[in-house]
A and B are shown apart, each in its own frame.
Chain A
Amino acid sequence: MLKIDHLTKRYGSTVAVNDLDFDVTAGVVTGFLGPNGSGKSTTMRVVMGLDRPTSGRATVNGQTYDELKAPLREVGALLDAKSLDPNRSARNHLRALALANRISFARVDEVLEFVGVASVAHKKVGGFSLGMSQRLGIAGALLGDPGTLLFDEPVNGLDPEGIRWIRDFFRSLAKEGRTVFVSSHLMSEMAVSADQIIVIGRGKFITSGTVNQLTAGAAGTVLVRSADPSRLAHVLRDAHAIVEELSDQGLHVSGLDAVQVGDAAFRSGIAVHELTPQRASLEDVFMSLTADALEYGHKNAEAVSE
C-alpha cells in the first residue's frame, strides 16, 4: 500500500511535483500516466527516499522510506536500469543488495533464474544490453519479495516479446495481492497494462479511474467515406459538425453521431460507402486532459482543422 500525501517537490524555482495526493491500492496494476517531465520520476524518487520532498510525504505501509527497517523487503523498484556499477557482476550486484537487507544468497540465484539472467550472472553488467539491464533491475526489485513494487517506464528498451512478458508479469504480481505502480508516458501502453490509471501533468493531479471510466465521458467521432466527400463535408458543416477531410475520400466528423451523419447524407442524396463510429481512445482523452498541462504549447488536431 503506497500513499502519496500532499507531496510537493521543488528544484530551485521549478515545481516538479505540485501537491500530489493519492493512494495506490494493493491487488491491481496502477498506471502512472503523464507526459515526459510531468513529475512521475520525481514522485517515484521521493517514494524511494532518494529525493527529499519539499513538503508532504510518501509512505509505504504507513512509513516513509527511510523509516523502513529492511526497505528492499517491503518495496522493490526499477527506476533506472543503468543505476549500477558497470564493473561488478550481476550476481555480486544483487548479493550486495541482499546482504544489506538480510536476504539469503539463495534468493539471489532464484531471482536471477526467474528473470532469465542466470547464465550471464558472472559477467560484468557494463556489457549488458538495455533489455538485460531491465531484467536485472526487475530481479533487484523482486529480491526482497516486497509487497509494493514501483517501475518507472519499464517497457523502454524492451522488444515486443519482452513487453508482453512484463505485462503478464505485472498482472501476476497484482494477483498475488501486491501493490504494483507503473509509470509511462505511453497511453496505449497504460490502456492495456493497467487496471487503474492516475493521470498527472506539470506535476499536478489531473484525474484517475479505470480505462473505461476515463474514456466513457469523452465524445466519440465518426469516420465516413462517400462518393462526394467535399459536398458531404459542406452539408455536415451546415449541421454544425466539425469536419476534417482525409486524403482518401474520407471525412473525420465530430459533433454528430453515426445516425445523424447517415441521415444527413441520405437527405442530400450522397451515397455513403463507409460509416464507422469511433470511440474515443485513452490517447484522445489523455491529449485533451493534458493539453493545458503540456510544457510546450501546441494546438490539438481539431483546432488545426477548423
Chain B
Amino acid sequence: MSDAPTLWDTTRSEFLKFRTVRATFIGLATLILLTIGLAVLITVVIRTNWNQRSPVERLAFDPVATSLVGVFFAQFAVGVMGARAITSEYASGAIRTTLAAVPRRVRLVISKAIVLLVTFFVVSEVVVVVAFSVGQAIYRGGHLPSGTLSNSTDLRAVVMAGVYLTMLTLVGLGLGLILRTTSVTISIYVTLLLIIPIIVNFLPSNWQSHVSKFLPSNLGQAMTSPSAFSPNSFSWTSATLVLALYTLAIVGVGTFLLTRRDA
C-alpha cells in the first residue's frame, strides 16, 4: 500500500465512477436504441416503398448510408455523455473530491479520456455493425441492393462511423472541460454540429466549398461514405485526421484550463 498510484489506478477509479451511476446505462441504452432502431425503421420504410421509386432514385440509393442514419442522432447522445463525464462533477461539487484524490489534473483528464475512448469505441462499433447488418438483411429480404462487411469499402464506412462517434464523445469531454456546465456545453455542441452548418449554407457558394468540408458533420459524412461524398469534401483519411486534430485541440484547451483554474 506504500507504492505510488499510477495512471492505471486513476483510470480504474474513473472507470468505477463511470459504471456506478445509472445515467451511464441510460445514455448507452439511448445510443444503442437510436442507432439500431432508426436503422430498422428507415430500411423497412425504404423497402416498403421501393416499387414506387423511379429508376434514377434506385440508382442513387445508398444501402450503407441509409442503414447508418442513426449515427446522425447517436452523435448527440455520445456528445452529451462525454460532456457529462466532467460537467456532472462540476454540477454536484464532486470535482473537488475528485481533485483531492487526483491532484495531477492532466492525469485525471487522460484517465477520463481512456475510459470514454475504450467504452465508446467498443459500444459504437458493436452498435454500427448491428445497425448495418440488420439494415442489409432487411434490404436483402426485399431483393434491394445491399452491402456486406466482406466488401472493404462498406466495412470501412461502418468502422469509421464507430470511430466518428468515439471522437465526438471526446469532443464532448473537451467542451465540458472548457465550459463546465452541462447546459452550456450541450448548447455549444449542438451549435457546432447543427447550427453552424445551417449558417454556412447561407454563405456565398464559392465560400461554402472552402468552409463546409471543415464542419464536423461533413467530416463525419466524408469518413463514413463508401465513395467520395462530394467533390469538395475531404478523403476519408484526411477527414479522420482533421477531426482527430479538432478533438485533440478541444481536449487540450480544456485540460490546460483545468490546470489553471481554481476548482
Contacts and interface: CB of A to CB of B under 8 A. Distances in A.
A102 B104 CA distance: 15
B231 interface: no
Grouping DSSP codes into helix (H, G, I), strand (E, B) and loop, the B interface class, with mixed when no group exceeds half, is helix
A72 B1 contact: no
B23 A77 contact: no
Contacts of A95: 16
B263 A100 contact: no
A85 B101 CA distance: 14
Interface residues of B, number: 32
A101 B104 CA distance: 12
Contacts, number: 98
A66 B89 CA distance: 20
Contacts of A194: none
Interface residues of A, number: 38
Contact of A92 (B1, B20, B100, B262): B20
B88 A66 contact: no
Given A80-B93, A97-B13, A99-B16, A87 B100 contact: no
Given A51-B262, A87-B21, A72 B101 contact: yes
Interface in A97-153: 97-104, 140
Contact of A100 (B22, B92, B96, B101): B101
A70 B107 CA distance: 13
B12 interface: yes
Nearest to A68: B103
Contacts of B89: 85
Given A82-B93, A83-B96, A100 B102 contact: yes
Contacts of A80: 93, 96
B62 interface: no
A84 B5 contact: no
A69 B263 contact: no
B104 A66 contact: yes
A97 B94 contact: no
A102 B12 CA distance: 10
Nearest to B260: A52
Nearest to B107: A100
B184 interface: no
Given A97-B13, A100-B9, A101-B5, A84 B92 contact: yes
B5 A66 contact: no
B107 to A, nearest CB: 10
B45 interface: no
B4 interface: yes
A102 B5 contact: yes
Given A92-B20, A100-B101, A100-B102, 7 more contacts: A48-B96, A52-B262, A71-B100, A80-B96, A100-B9, A101-B101, A102-B9
Interface of A: 45, 48-52, 65-66, 68-73, 77, 79-80, 82-89, 92-93, 95-104, 140
The 10 closest A-B pairs by CB, nearest first: A100-B13, A69-B4, A99-B13, A83-B93, A92-B20, A51-B262, A66-B103, A50-B263, A49-B103, A100-B101
14 contacts: A49-B99, A49-B103, A50-B263, A52-B262, A66-B103, A83-B97, A85-B17, A85-B88, A85-B92, A85-B94, A87-B21, A87-B23, A102-B3, A102-B9
Interface of B: 1, 3-5, 9-10, 12-14, 16-17, 20-23, 88-89, 92-97, 99-104, 260, 262-263
